[in-house]
Amino acid sequence: MSFSRKARRRLKYYIIWTPLWILIILVLSTLNILFIFVIQIAFLIKDILDILSKRDLAPEYFEHLPYSLGVAALLGTINPLLLLLSLLDAVIDAYEDLFMEK
């Protein structure tokens, strides 16, 4: 599949998932930031496993790049480690979504 077709398809998923992830981040940040850490680390591990196995471990339509970017934007100033994890995951996820052949 060409890069532009992949990018258009992924953009559709990003638009669908962004409001939901922002809502989840806002709710979890009022409860306990540890929940956000756990989810972020789980997504990072999932992306690394996706790259190593060269296949998706989750359905194609399940998109968490908006979560990582939302965490970086909304909570990155609160915790530098969370900022680092979320940006690292965002880069790895974008690479895996757009450039990996599966």
List the domain boundaries for the chain.
3-99
Residue 10 contacts residue 1 (beta carbons within 8 Å): no
Judged against a pLDDT cut of 80, whether residue 21 lies above it is answered with yes
Least Cα distance to 88 among 25, 41, 28 occurs for 41
Judged against a pLDDT cut of 80, whether residue 3 lies above it is answered with no
| 96 pLDDT tier (thresholds 50, 70, 90) | confident
pLDDT recorded at residue 44:
95
| pLDDT tens sequence across 31-82 | 999 999 999 999 999 999 988 988 888 887 888 999 999 999 999 898 999 9
